[in-house]
Homo-oligomer: A and B are copies of this chain.
Amino acid sequence: MKAVVILSGGPDSVTLAYKAKSQGHQLYAITFDYGQIAKKEIIYAKIIAEKLGMEQKIVDLSSLNDVFGSTTALMDENIPMPSEFEPEIIVPFRNAIFLSVAVAYTQAVGANKILYGAQGSDAPFYPDCRKEFFKAFQTAARKGTASQIEIDAPFHNMKKSEIIKLGAKLDVPYESTWSCYLNNERQCGVCESCRNRKKGFKEANIVDPTKYEE
C-alpha cells in the first residue's frame, strides 16, 4: 500500500518509516525545510530515505521564516533556546502546514494514506500532536479533497521510550537521526528535544548511540 510519510529526520518519524517499511508499505517520504535552525535534521532525513530506498521530496518552505519565524526559538536565532518546554518552542501550526502539503503529495503519487509521527510524550505541550487535532485535520482533508484519505499517527498515545523500544527491534539506526533544535557539530544535549531524546533512551533501557556536546 502506498503511503506518504512525513520524515523530519528525528527518531519518531524515522521509527515510523521503519515500522511502515517492515509492514510492506510503499513509502514516499516528504521532508521540509521550513526555515528551521536545525538544518541537520534534513540531512539525516535524506540519509534515512536512502537507507530505506524511499522516494523523497525535500520541500523548500524556508520563506516561512519571514512569515512567522520571529515567533519561535526554533526559527529565530535571536530567541534564546529554552532547555525545558516553553511556548516559544512551539512553531505555530507547523504540522498542519506539513500535513497539507503531504495531502497534496498523496494526490501526485496516488497514495491514500499519510503517516504522521506525532507522539504521546509531546501531546501535552504541542496541540498539533494531539489526536483531536489530527482527527479534525483528517476530516478537513477528506472534505477538501473529496476523498477518503487517512492520517495514521500510530505513536500518538505512545511514550518516546516505547517508540525507541519498537525502533530497536526494527534495527532503526538512531545514530542517523537528529533531535536537536540547534545545528551544531553534535546534538547539544540540553535543549528540550535533546533532553527528551536522552530520557527516551534511558527509560527504554537502551544504549543511546548519540554523541552529545554535553
Instruction: A100 to B145: give the CA distance in the assembly, Å.
Output: 15
A201 within 8 A of partner (CB): no
- CB contact between A140 and one of B30, B61, B70, B140 (< 8 Å): that residue: B140
Bound CA–CA A68/B91 (angstroms): 25
Of residues 125 through 139 on chain A, the ones whose CB sits less than 8 Å from some CB of chain B are 127-128, 130, 132-133, 136-137, 139
Total residues of chain A contacting the partner, CB 8 A: 41
CB-based contact B96/A103 at 8 Å: yes
Shortest CB–CB separation between residue A42 and chain B, in angstroms? 13
- How far apart sit A130 and B132, CA to CA, in the bound complex (Å)? 22
Most buried by B among A95, A97, A140: A140
Could you tell me if B127 and A137 are in contact, using CB atoms closer than 8 angstroms? Answer: no
**Does A165 belong to the interface (CB within 8 Å)?**
no
* A52 → B minimal CB distance (Å): 19
Q: Do residues B137 and A132 form an inter-chain contact, with CB atoms below 8 A? A: no
Q: Are A130 and B107 in contact (CB under 8 A)?
A: no
Q: Which residues from 80 to 126 on chain A have a C-beta closer than 8 Å to any C-beta of chain B?
A: 91-97, 99-101, 103-105, 107-108
In the complex, the chain B residue whose C-beta lies closest to that of A62 is: B60
Separation in Å of the A68 CB from the closest CB of chain B?
4
A93→B145 CA distance, assembly (Å): 6
Report how far A91 CA is from B95 CA in the complex, Å.
20
Pairs of residues from A and B, 5 with the lowest C-beta to C-beta distance, nearest first: A92-B107, A136-B140, A60-B63, A133-B143, A68-B108
- A interface vs B, CB < 8 Å? 30, 57, 59-61, 63-64, 66-68, 70-71, 91-97, 99-101, 103-105, 107-108, 127-128, 130, 132-133, 136-137, 139-141, 143-146
Given contacts A57-B66, A136-B140, 18 further A-B contacts (CB under 8 A): A59-B67, A60-B63, A67-B105, A68-B104, A68-B105, A70-B108, A71-B108, A92-B103, A92-B104, A93-B107, A94-B104, A96-B144, A97-B100, A128-B144, A136-B136, A136-B143, A137-B143, A140-B140
